[in-house]
């Protein structure tokens, strides 16, 4: 069965999505073998769960369906201002399990520019 995602109000094949390209590029990459906290990459499949879709919708509504930096209203994404690594379980918190103040609405361009310029901190809890 074919999978699809929505962008700019149109359905596109999942294989054309950025996540699908990311998976193809990173497939087979070795996991870190040190005892250090792993670097957070992508939440991947968790972003397709209802919990995240609902959380994302609430953050976009809170921010007025616009980028908080440039006020763009297209290609909106929800950005995590920090990630939380739970030492007890040795896993990252699910993407929907963060305080409102740690989630912001950004357009794709501002989101990419921010990730290129800054590293999102990972907090151990």
Q: How many CA atoms lie within 13 A of 26 on its CB side?
A: 10
Which has more pLDDT, 28 or 114? 114
Kindly list the domain boundaries of the chain, sorted by start residue. 1-27+43-48, 50-125
Would you call 107 exposed, middle or buried from its count of C-beta atoms within 10 A (0-12, 13-18, 19+)? Answer: buried
**Measuring CA to CA, how many Å separate 21 from each of 1, 28, 42, 103, 109?**
19, 14, 12, 24, 18
Question: pLDDT, tens digit, for every residue of 27-49?
Answer: 444 434 444 545 555 577 888 88
């Amino acid at each position: 069965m074919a999978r699809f995602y929505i962008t700019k109000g149109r359905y596109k094949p999942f294989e054309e999505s950025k996540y699908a390209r990311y998976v193809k590029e990173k497939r087979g990459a070795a996991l870190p073998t040190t005892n250090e906290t792993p670097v957070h990459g992508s939440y991947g499949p968790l972003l397709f769960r209802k919990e995240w879709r609902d959380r994302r919708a609430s953050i976009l509504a809170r921010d007025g369906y616009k980028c908080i930096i440039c006020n763009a209203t297209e290609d909106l994404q929800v950005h995590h201002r920090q990630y939380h690594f739970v030492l007890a379980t040795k896993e990252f918190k699910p993407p929907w399990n963060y305080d409102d103040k740690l989630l912001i609405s950004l357009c794709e361009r501002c989101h990419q520019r921010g990730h290129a310029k800054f590293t999102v901190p990972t907090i151990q809890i």
